[in-house]
Amino acid sequence: MSRLLVDTHALLWWLTDDAALSPAAREAVAAPATEPLVSAASVWEIAIKRSLGKLTAPDDLPERIVDGGFSWLPVSPAHAWQVRDLPPHHRDPFDRLLVAQALTERLPVVTADARFAEYGVDVRW
């Protein structure tokens, strides 16, 4: 089974069946041989943006993520420390942490954000 990290926006689009999620990304997440992962950082990002009124998310979001077939990728000290070596291609701290997780764990990422590839991350879109 191959693991695949799902970026925050791709996760939200998956959960809402939004057409913004590309067909290739949808296939990658749904593939039977894939274990799609959601970073704890993504839930943190959604919680912050929801509290600021920048997006809506259900109260039971963590349960919906698990019910949607996703597994969790905790943020480890190694992930956080990896951020120190990243060039400044991206200013968003959540995306930088996802990049660090992808590089540390050698995971492809489902994202529409082309800047992930600038770090050498395998992007699936």
Q: pLDDT digit string (tens) for 21-68?
A: 999 999 999 999 999 999 999 999 999 999 999 999 999 999 999 999
Please report, rounded to a whole number, the percentage of residues in the chain having pLDDT higher than 70: 100
- CATH number of residue 76's parent domain: 3.40.50.1010
Residue 55 CB-half CA count within 13 A: 16
Work out the mean pLDDT of the chain and round it to a whole number.
96
Backbone φ, ψ for residue 101 (5° rounding): -65, -45
This prediction's pTM: 0.94
37 SS3 class: strand
Mean pLDDT of 108-123: 96
Give the containing element (helix H, strand E) for 94: helix 93-105
Q: Which residues constitute the domain of residue 13? A: 2-124
Pair 29, 15: CB distance under 8 Å: no
- Total of domains in the chain: 1
